[in-house]
Structure 1
Amino acid sequence: MQLKPQDFLVALKLVAWGEQRWTYARLAQELGLSVSEAHACIKRGLQAGLLLPNRESSPDAAAASDGALGVQEPMGIYRVTRKRVRRAAEPEREVGADNVVRPHAHNLAEFALHGAKYAFPAEKLPLAVGVPTSHSAPAFAGVFAPGSTDFVWPHPNGSVRGVGVEPLHPSVPFAAMQDAKLYEMLALFDALRVGKARERSMALERLRALIDPDASPSPKGGALG
């Protein structure tokens, strides 16, 4: 199993939603993914330890629920076919009533802060108009003096011209514009990938607080000056 960028994106989206009830259809729509791809992301996130099943029994229960939701369609072609056809007809109510997984806050924070930038390295692109990211994003508004180089995800609906940064996934600019908290986390993650030392230090603390608010503060906290 190889973790994909969209798996990390899905995990961050679940952090952004918090305790909200969600459906695979809504998850796919807001991230610009297909429903089947959203299912696959959840499955890989569980296997990687970035997500936890919401059912008490075991991670296998979440995998079983994937089958019940149509991820593994060959399972149960006989025996309960009628029930599953009904669920497929009303996915919003069935899935939203019981979220299958939740973020594993500690593991996801560790990966986001110390591993993801190596698993999904940034690629700088030519100057372009796009959606601001890294220290240029709203998450950093008023923190850094104007005049520094802007970074953007190239996008036709963008409003800022700057150095292009290949987004974590092609759907990131769209997904970020749908959800301010997700946007903040994605921009902070880019600061870890392309920012200078002070920007990275700030991003570490803020991203940790967003993903795992119950974690002990870093001993390096407050070193932004």
Structure 2
Amino acid sequence: MDLAVGLRLAQAPEAKYEQLSADLGISASAAHASVRRLQAAGLLRPSSRVVNRLALGEFLEHGVRYAFPAHPGAEVRGVPTAHAAPPLADRIVAEDVLVWPSVTGPARGRAIAPLYPRATELPRRCPSLYESLALVDALRVGRVRERKLAFEAIRHRLVASAA
């Protein structure tokens, strides 16, 4: 959940705890606790909710697949993620679809655990965060080409949202 909060703050730097709560489907106190952990990890500036974009980018590029490994499981119904979701779905043609398990999901594919339990609601709740977490999943499970494309897209989003 902490990574989702950090990515959302990178997209919406002025978001208050109530907005983070609404966007992610978590309580305001859970959002506040995530911010504290992100500050302690150096992914947010001390005593603020300003994203340390350099540190976040470095963690995503080099650490996320080790800190949050994902292992595709059985085929289930779910929400497309990684290379099966936007924005990579338009750039990568792959036979294996990866999904976050959800009985109401629009696709069938191999299950991977999302980074936080309510991620399956993001396509309707906060589409831009859904896309960012799908890119993170491509970093977690993708091959070299997929990881490269995913990181380029994430880096572009981090730079664009800073401007």
- Tell whether the structures are fold-level matches, with TM greater than 0.5: yes
* Cross-structure match for 2:77: 129
Alignment of 1:120-199 (within 5 A): 120-145=68-93, 148-199=95-146
Work out which structure has the larger RCO, using CA pairs closer than 8 Å and 6 or more positions apart in sequence.
Answer: 2
> Does the 8 A contact of 1:134 with 1:189 survive in 2?
yes
Deviations 1:187-212 (A, max 9, x none): 11111111122111111211122124
Residues of 2 paired with 1:22 and 1:143: CA distance? 31
* Cross-structure match for 1:205: 152
1:13 corresponds to 2:8: yes
Q: Which runs of 5+ in 2 are unaligned?
A: none
Residues of 1 paired with 2:90 and 2:123: CA distance? 20
Residues of 1 paired with 2:84 and 2:12: CA distance? 24
Alignment of 1:10-89 (within 5 A): 10-18=5-13, 21-52=14-45, 59=46, 62=47
> Does the 8 A contact of 2:60 with 2:139 survive in 1?
no
Q: Number of paired residues?
A: 162
* Cross-structure match for 1:108: 56
* Cross-structure match for 2:66: 118
Q: Which has the higher helix share?
A: 2
- CA RMSD of superposed structures (Å): 1.9
Give percent identity, aligned residues only: 40
* Cross-structure match for 1:75: none
Instruction: Return closer, same or farther for 1:104/1:121 CA change in 2, 3 Å cut-off.
Output: same
Report the 3-state secondary structure (helix = DSSP H, G, I; strand = E; otherwise coil) of the residue aligned with 2:99.
strand
- Report the alpha carbon displacement of residue 156 of structure 1 after superposing the two structures with TM: 2.1
Residues of 2 paired with 1:39 and 1:47: CA distance? 13
Higher Cα radius of gyration: 1
Deviations 1:26-59 (A, max 9, x none): 211221222211111111111111112xxxxxx3
> Does the 8 A contact of 2:75 with 2:110 survive in 1?
yes
TM-score using structure 1 length: 0.66
Q: Which runs of 5+ in 1 are unaligned?
A: 1-5, 53-58, 63-99, 215-225
